[in-house]
């Protein structure tokens, strides 16, 4: 359409590069990931091999699924801080109930708190309009409290990690971690849901302009309730996967994943203000964070220094990424 | 009007202004030259680049190329603050007050002196503004006036008004025109963007016409110039005809007596008082009112957006109570709100915005049939001539094109009754004709339209009947043949038929107005 002959060639290379990146926001992320892997390889030649890849994937997957919960809630302008507690609860209940129960019953029992917390979150945010940050933080604390009470009642019976979860969490087949069997369908479903279903559209619409969604006939509370239940269910399943990987049920099992899951979604380009983002970016964000953790471990820094550096890098990457992608 | 070209040097002179957004050329070699004391119209179809030019002149965005001279000196305007120092002050197309702050805080933020601001607000026809009110709660039309008052308060040399009057009902629009005229008389310059020819001919000295981002001509405003301008703007001629309404008796036969929508004694706090009227199948009923007479609330109540405190609404003879817009949509009633910021998900694509109602109901949450959706959306886009060069995000469209998306949504959804609140706000002459035709076509398919407009001309162009509201009451109902502008104005001011009203400068220019001559 445009007449390129009359278009002045004043548009600098930098601007055009930016424009290119703005249209394909995944590219700078993938480049960053490759750079990180390259640094790792330079610092420890030979570290990047098949085993390392499988290991990285194993640790990135639980993070990526929880980051999926954050992506979906952030699209509506919310956040789900209860994912850590929910994951821990289902893992802990699974590991203790499997001792005397049928696996199916144990699984159902393990998913119960997930559904419940999701429902409470959804109703609190969607109907009573409590701020998602407060709401999910609140249910998270309450959940932890219940878990402590529960722990005392089962202290005598002990805990066991079911073999299947062990296999799923740590097993590797033909060089591929078995966890991919769970992750690939989950990821495909989330991406499909966000892009090709009515529900996905509504998440974006509600997060972008709630009033516009309302005038189009969308009932906010329905969308939000369904969303938080879904998010909690995913968190519960992640808990089961994670216990298979970590193998030590504790009351703070998945808690360390909560803030990184938010960070992964943000690095992946999802806006915390809602309406903008997607799951593919989040997956790469989770990978970046996992590789970054390995890198910092290898540097053999003291724990404190490592955390500071981790935080600084996350800040820097997010700020730089937004600058690249936000073309005016 | 100064037709005699005095050897005056321009106050503002921009040449070769270029701006590209990726593959979209918003401006290419646009130029604009404004003399001191001149009211200069900037005209062009939706997406021609008017707003982009205003934003570049006032430092809100950066041009890729171009030269801007102010009082003969080349200035590099990099920020709105620079522009302000150079004496250039804009009123942008979208309201600029920060919604979460009150008016006073907004003033402080820009360092606007409060007393002159208040004086201007009163001058512009709003006697009782509460300066502590949060901007979010102020109606769109008033917000626009506040934007203008804020600009006037710092006494700019060049005032740039981007569709300042588009959301304003007749009484407020007139005040604005008067004030702008006086700016010109005081030796200051005004750049005035509007799609309303009546205003251009009443107010402006010259006009610069943009088409597809380039300046295609500069003309003196004189009687009869309108057609030439339109031709330059669109590149073709358009027929500005009155789309014929159906005869009233025709209507009665068609619907078998039962109205589509029947409103009785509707009450809403102090805003609506005992409002009763019918909307027949196959009818376009106009609603005409001055600012703040309850029209906003009437539409919101019929759309299920707010709940009336009394009275009844019947749809097809059955009483309804809407507690959510989705109830109204279920009953086949769609609402195009006056403020497009209220209707659009700005970061989402044109397609998603148009298709939004399709996914709303719980049972439609599943997979989307993309092919079918694409077809429905494309035909709505074509129907409303939406410029889709920047369709990835609605916020990148020009104001007029955004407005079209709000209408296209309900055309695509095939709603049986459409409540249009000022739907043609900011839409260019060419597409306006298209929308009038569209509304008449809906009526001929036995659908019905309730049509509020702030532009008197439109009443006669599309409506079968006009309902006039004043002080929250229906004060009069005219068949369109009797709804000439004087009669409408009288009724809108709450005067009985036949009384003589002061209808201001728009009416005074009427006889010689080229806009009317063309119709
Ligand atoms: N951020 C952006 N990205 C891409 N394209 C843009 C962006 N902003 C504006 N445009 C494009 O630039 C063109 C000119 O837009 P502009 O808003 O200046 O039109 P306008 O003349 O003011 O129209 P209207 O009468 O509808 O307000 C449009 O085609 C628009 O889509
Ligand atoms: Mg514009």
Q: What is the pLDDT of residue A326?
A: 65
Does the beta carbon of B403 lie inside 6 Å of ligand 1? no
For residues B230 and B197, give the distance between their C-alpha atoms in angstroms, rounded to a whole number. Answer: 10
Q: Tell me whether A27 touches chain B (CB under 8 Å).
A: no
For residue B449, give every residue at least 6 positions away whose Cβ sits within 8 Å of its Cβ, in sequence order, or none. Answer: B283, B284, B285, B417, B418, B419, B420, B439, B442, B443
The string of pLDDT tens digits covering residues A115-134 is 999 999 999 999 999 999 99
For residues B434 and B432, give the distance between their C-alpha atoms in angstroms, rounded to a whole number. Answer: 5
Compare A199 and B517 and report the one with higher pLDDT.
A199
Residues above pLDDT 90, as percent of chain A: 63
- The single residue listed with the structure tokens 């909560």 is A258
Among A196, A213, A222, whose Cβ lies nearest the Cβ of B368? A196
Residues in chain B, how many? 519
Q: How many pairs of residues across A and B have Cβ atoms under 8 Å apart?
A: 116
Q: What is the pLDDT of residue A4?
A: 37
List the residue whose alpha carbon is closest to atom 9 of ligand 1. B396
Per-residue model confidence as pLDDT tens for chain B (519 residues): 444 445 578 999 999 999 998 888 999 989 999 999 999 999 999 999 999 999 999 999 999 999 999 988 888 888 999 999 999 999 999 999 999 999 999 999 988 999 999 999 999 988 888 989 999 999 889 999 999 999 999 999 999 999 999 888 888 999 999 999 998 888 899 999 999 888 999 999 999 999 999 999 999 998 888 888 988 888 876 666 655 555 444 544 444 678 999 999 999 988 898 999 999 999 999 999 988 889 999 999 999 999 999 999 999 989 999 999 999 999 999 999 988 999 999 999 999 999 999 999 999 999 999 999 999 999 999 988 898 888 889 999 999 999 999 999 999 998 999 999 999 988 998 888 888 989 999 999 999 999 999 888 888 889 999 999 998 999 989 888 888 888 888 888 888 776 554 544 444 444 333 433 333
Ligand nearest to the CA of B21: 1
User: Could you tell me if B429 and B195 are in contact, meaning their C-beta atoms sit under 8 angstroms apart?
Assistant: yes
Q: What is the pLDDT of residue A297?
A: 85
For residue B247, give every residue at least 6 positions away whose Cβ sits within 8 Å of its Cβ, in sequence order, or none. Answer: none
Q: What is the pLDDT of residue B2?
A: 45
Does the beta carbon of B194 lie inside 6 Å of ligand 1? no
Does the beta carbon of B396 lie inside 6 Å of ligand 1? yes
For residue B122, give every residue at least 6 positions away whose Cβ sits within 8 Å of its Cβ, in sequence order, or none. Answer: none
Compare A322 and B425 and report the one with higher pLDDT.
B425
For residues B310 and B322, give the distance between their C-alpha atoms in angstroms, rounded to a whole number. Answer: 13
Q: What is the pLDDT of residue B390?
A: 83
User: Could you tell me if A244 and A168 are in contact, meaning their C-beta atoms sit under 8 angstroms apart?
Assistant: yes
Q: How many Å lie between the centroid of ligand 2 and the Cα of residue B194?
A: 9
For residues A298 and A23, give the distance between their C-alpha atoms in angstroms, rounded to a whole number. Answer: 35
Q: What is the pLDDT of residue A100?
A: 87
Q: How many Å lie between the centroid of ligand 2 and the Cα of residue B43?
A: 10
For residues A212 and B353, give the distance between their C-alpha atoms in angstroms, rounded to a whole number. Answer: 9
- The single residue listed with the structure tokens 């298209």 is B434
Region label for A118, one of left (φ > 0), alpha (ψ between -120 and 50) or beta (otherwise): alpha
What is chain A's alpha carbon radius of gyration, rounded to the nearest angstrom?
A: 21
Q: Is the pLDDT of residue A72 over 80?
A: yes
CA A235 to mean position of chain CA atoms: 9
For residues B40 and B189, give the distance between their C-alpha atoms in angstroms, rounded to a whole number. Answer: 8
Of the given ranges (A23-32, A90-99, B18-27, B275-284), which has the lowest mean pLDDT? Answer: A23-32
Among A10, A212, A328, whose Cβ lies nearest the Cβ of B64? A10
What residue in A sits closest to B351 (Cα-Cα)?
Answer: A201
ipTM of the complex: 0.88
Query: Binning pLDDT at 50, 70 and 90, where does residue A313 land?
Result: confident
Ligand nearest to the CA of B210: 1
Considering Cα of B127, then B133, then B135, then B136, what sign does the dihedral take? Answer: negative
The verdict on a CB contact (< 8 Å) between A7 and B28 is yes
Kindly list the strands in the beta sheet with B39-43, ordered across the sheet, starting from the edge strand earlier in the chain: B88-91, B158-162, B189-193, B39-43, B206-211, B214-220
Chain B neighbors of A209, CB-CB under 8 A: 341-342, 344-346
Q: What are the beta bridge partners of residue B312?
A: B264
Among B20, B325, B344, whose Cβ lies nearest the Cβ of A209? B344
List the residue whose alpha carbon is closest to atom 19 of ligand 1. B47
For residues A36 and B275, give the distance between their C-alpha atoms in angstroms, rounded to a whole number. Answer: 68
When scoring A23, A198, A199, A273 by the number of chain B Cβ atoms within 10 A, the one with the most, hence best to mutate, is A198
> Of all atoms in ligand 1, which is nearest to the CA of residue B24?
5
DSSP B366: S
Distance of residue B503 Cα from the nearest chain A Cα, in angstroms: 36
For residues B223 and B180, give the distance between their C-alpha atoms in angstroms, rounded to a whole number. Answer: 20
Q: Tell me whether A273 touches chain B (CB under 8 Å).
A: no
List the residue whose alpha carbon is closest to atom 25 of ligand 1. B46
Options 1.10.3470, 1.25.40, 1.10.10, 1.20.1260; which CATH number does A21-326 get? 1.10.3470
The verdict on a CB contact (< 8 Å) between A208 and B347 is yes
The verdict on a CB contact (< 8 Å) between B356 and A328 is no
The string of pLDDT tens digits covering residues A221-277 is 999 999 999 999 999 999 999 999 988 888 889 999 999 999 999 989 898 888 889
Q: Which of B513, B508, B467, B459 is nearest to B491 (CA)?
A: B467
Alpha helices, DSSP H, located in chain A: 13-23, 26-43, 50-75, 83-97, 103-126, 132-154, 163-170, 180-196, 198-208, 210-215, 220-246, 258-267, 279-298, 303-325
For residue A135, give every residue at least 6 positions away whose Cβ sits within 8 Å of its Cβ, in sequence order, or none. Answer: A121, A124, A125
Written as six digits, the tokens of A163 are 């073999």
User: Could you tell me if A119 and A175 are in contact, meaning their C-beta atoms sit under 8 angstroms apart?
Assistant: no
Q: Which of A324, A319, A317 is nearest to A36 (CA)?
A: A317
Chain B neighbors of A8, CB-CB under 8 A: 18, 64-65
Does the beta carbon of B387 lie inside 6 Å of ligand 1? yes
For residues A195 and A75, give the distance between their C-alpha atoms in angstroms, rounded to a whole number. Answer: 12
Distance of residue A30 Cα from the nearest chain B Cα, in angstroms: 23
For residues B303 and B261, give the distance between their C-alpha atoms in angstroms, rounded to a whole number. Answer: 12
- The single residue listed with the structure tokens 């703070």 is A252
For residues A92 and A78, give the distance between their C-alpha atoms in angstroms, rounded to a whole number. Answer: 27
For residues A280 and A275, give the distance between their C-alpha atoms in angstroms, rounded to a whole number. Answer: 15
User: Could you tell me if B455 and B427 are in contact, meaning their C-beta atoms sit under 8 angstroms apart?
Assistant: no
For residues A270 and A75, give the distance between their C-alpha atoms in angstroms, rounded to a whole number. Answer: 7
Does the beta carbon of B427 lie inside 6 Å of ligand 1? no
Q: Which of B495, B373, B233, B459 is nearest to A195 (CA)?
A: B373
At CB < 8 Å, which residues of chain B contact A? 18, 20, 22-25, 28-29, 61, 64-65, 303, 305, 324-326, 329-330, 335, 337, 341-348, 352, 355-362, 364-368, 370, 389, 409
- The single residue listed with the structure tokens 């309902």 is B467
- One-letter-per-residue 3-state SS of A167-215: HHHHCEECCEECCHHHHHHHHHHHHHHHHHEHHHHHHHHHHHCHHHHHH
Query: Binning pLDDT at 50, 70 and 90, where does residue A323 land?
Result: confident
User: Could you tell me if B189 and B157 are in contact, meaning their C-beta atoms sit under 8 angstroms apart?
Assistant: yes
Cα dist from A257 to A105, A120, A167, A315, B336, whole Å = 27, 22, 21, 17, 45
The verdict on a CB contact (< 8 Å) between B326 and A204 is no
Give mean pLDDT, residues A182-206. 96
When scoring A215, A219, A221 by the number of chain B Cβ atoms within 10 A, the one with the most, hence best to mutate, is A215
The verdict on a CB contact (< 8 Å) between A198 and B326 is no
The helix or strand, by DSSP H or E, that contains position B268, with its residue range, turns out to be strand B261-268
pTM for the whole thing? 0.88
Q: What is the pLDDT of residue B1?
A: 46
Give mean pLDDT, residues A41-45. 89
Chain B neighbors of A211, CB-CB under 8 A: 342
Of the given ranges (A68-82, A166-180, A286-300, B501-515), which has the lowest mean pLDDT? Answer: B501-515
A232-244 residues labelled b (16+ CB within 10 A) or e (exposed): bbbbbbbbbbbbb
For residue A225, give every residue at least 6 positions away whose Cβ sits within 8 Å of its Cβ, in sequence order, or none. Answer: A119, A122, A123, A126, A127
Q: How many other C-beta atoms can be found within 10 angstroms of the C-beta atom of residue B482?
A: 13
Written as six digits, the tokens of A117 are 């917390």
Q: How many Å lie between the centroid of ligand 2 and the Cα of residue B295?
A: 26
CA angle B459, B463, B469 (to 5 degrees): 60
User: Could you tell me if A218 and A126 are in contact, meaning their C-beta atoms sit under 8 angstroms apart?
Assistant: no
Q: Which of B208, B228, B295, B180 is nearest to B17 (CA)?
A: B208
A52-74 residues labelled b (16+ CB within 10 A) or e (exposed): bebbbbbbbbbbbbbbbbbbbbb
The verdict on a CB contact (< 8 Å) between A215 and B345 is no
Among B61, B344, B348, whose Cβ lies nearest the Cβ of A204? B348
Tell how strand B214-220 and strand B206-211 pair up: antiparallel
Q: Tell me whether A5 touches chain B (CB under 8 Å).
A: no
Question: What are the domain boundaries of chain A?
Answer: 21-326
Distance of residue A280 Cα from the nearest chain B Cα, in angstroms: 18
């Amino acid at each position: 359409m445009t007449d390129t002959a009359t278009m002045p060639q004043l548009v600098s290379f930098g601007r055009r590069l930016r424009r290119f990146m703005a249209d394909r926001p995944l590219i700078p992320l993938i480049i960053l990931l490759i750079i990180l892997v390259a640094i790792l390889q330079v610092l420890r030649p030979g570290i990047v091999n098949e085993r390392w890849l499988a290991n990285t994937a194993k640790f990135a997957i639980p993070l990526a699924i929880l980051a999926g919960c954050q992506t979906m809630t952030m699209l509506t302008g919310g956040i789900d801080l209860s994912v850590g507690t929910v994951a821990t609860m289902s893992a802990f209940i699974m590991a203790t109930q499997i001792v005397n129960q049928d696996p199916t019953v144990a699984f159902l029992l393990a998913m119960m708190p997930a559904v419940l917390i999701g429902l409470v979150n959804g109703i609190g945010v969607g109907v009573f309009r409590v701020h998602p940050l407060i709401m999910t933080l609140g249910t998270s604390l309450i959940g932890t409290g219940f878990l402590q009470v529960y722990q005392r009642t089962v202290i005598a019976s002990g805990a066991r990690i079911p073999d299947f979860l062990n296999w799923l969490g740590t097993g590797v087949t033909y060089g591929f971690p078995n966890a991919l069997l769970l992750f690939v369908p989950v990821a495909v479903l989330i991406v499909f849901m966000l892009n090709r279903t009515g529900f996905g559209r509504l998440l974006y619409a509600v997060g972008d302009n709630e009033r516009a969604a309302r005038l189009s006939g969308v009932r906010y509370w329905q969308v939000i309730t369904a969303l938080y239940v879904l998010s909690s269910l995913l968190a519960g399943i992640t808990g089961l996967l994670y216990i298979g990987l970590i193998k030590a049920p504790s009351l703070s099992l998945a808690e360390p994943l909560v803030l990184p899951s938010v960070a992964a979604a943000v690095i992946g380009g999802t806006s915390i203000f809602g309406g903008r983002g997607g799951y593919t970016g989040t997956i790469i964000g989770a990978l970046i964070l996992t590789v970054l953790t390995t890198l910092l471990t290898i540097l053999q820094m003291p724990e404190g220094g490592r955390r500071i550096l981790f935080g600084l890098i996350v800040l820097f990457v997010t700020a730089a990424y937004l600058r690249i992608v936000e073309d005016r | 009007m100064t037709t005699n070209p005095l050897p005056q040097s321009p106050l503002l002179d921009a040449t070769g202004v270029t701006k590209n957004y990726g593959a979209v050329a918003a401006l290419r070699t646009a130029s604009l030259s404004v003399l001191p004391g001149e009211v200069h119209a900037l005209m062009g179809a939706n997406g021609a680049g008017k707003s982009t030019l205003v934003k570049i002149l006032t430092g809100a965005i950066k041009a890729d190329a171009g030269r801007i001279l102010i009082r003969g000196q080349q200035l590099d305007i990099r920020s709105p603050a620079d522009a302000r120092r150079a004496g250039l002050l804009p009123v942008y197309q979208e309201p600029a007050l920060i919604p979460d702050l009150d008016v006073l805080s907004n003033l402080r933020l820009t360092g606007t002196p409060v007393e002159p601001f208040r004086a201007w607000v009163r001058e512009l026809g709003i006697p009782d503004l509460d300066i502590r009110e949060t901007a979010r709660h102020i109606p769109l039309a008033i917000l626009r006036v506040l934007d203008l008052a804020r600009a006037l308060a710092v006494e700019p040399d060049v005032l740039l008004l981007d569709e300042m009057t588009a959301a304003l009902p007749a009484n407020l629009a007139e005040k604005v025109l008067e004030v702008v005229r006086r700016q010109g008389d005081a030796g200051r310059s005004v750049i005035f963007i509007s799609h309303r020819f009546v205003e251009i001919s009443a107010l402006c000295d010259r006009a610069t016409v943009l088409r597809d981002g380039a300046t295609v001509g500069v003309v003196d405003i004189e009687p009869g110039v309108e057609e030439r301008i339109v031709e330059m703007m669109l590149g073709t001629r358009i027929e500005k005809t009155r789309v014929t309404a159906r005869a009233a008796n025709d209507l009665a036969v068609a619907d078998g007596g039962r109205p589509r929508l029947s409103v009785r004694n509707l009450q809403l706090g102090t805003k609506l008082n005992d409002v009763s009227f019918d909307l027949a199948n196959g009818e376009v009923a106009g609603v005409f009112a001055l600012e703040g007479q309850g029209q906003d609330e009437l539409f919101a109540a019929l759309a299920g957006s707010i709940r009336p405190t009394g009275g009844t609404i019947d749809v097809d003879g059955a009483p309804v109570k809407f507690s959510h817009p989705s109830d109204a949509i279920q009953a086949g009633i769609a609402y195009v709100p006056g403020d497009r910021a209220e209707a659009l998900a700005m970061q989402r694509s044109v397609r998603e915005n148009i298709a939004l109602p399709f996914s709303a109901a719980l049972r439609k949450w599943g997979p989307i049939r993309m092919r079918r959706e694409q077809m429905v959306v494309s035909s709505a886009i074509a129907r409303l001539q939406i410029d889709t060069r920047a369709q990835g995000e609605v916020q990148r469209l020009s104001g007029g094109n955004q407005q079209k998306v709000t209408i296209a949504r309900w055309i695509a959804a095939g709603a049986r009754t459409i409540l249009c609140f000022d739907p043609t706000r900011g839409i260019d002459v060419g597409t306006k004709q298209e929308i009038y035709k569209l509304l008449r076509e809906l009526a001929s398919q036995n659908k019905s339209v309730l049509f509020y407009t702030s532009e008197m001309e439109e009443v006669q162009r599309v409506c079968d009947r006009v309902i006039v509201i004043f002080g929250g009451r229906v004060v009069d109902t005219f068949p369109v043949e009797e709804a000439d502008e004087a009669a409408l104005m009288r009724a809108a001011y709450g005067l009985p038929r036949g009384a003589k009203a002061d209808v201001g400068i728009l009416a005074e220019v009427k006889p010689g107005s080229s806009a009317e001559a063309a119709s």
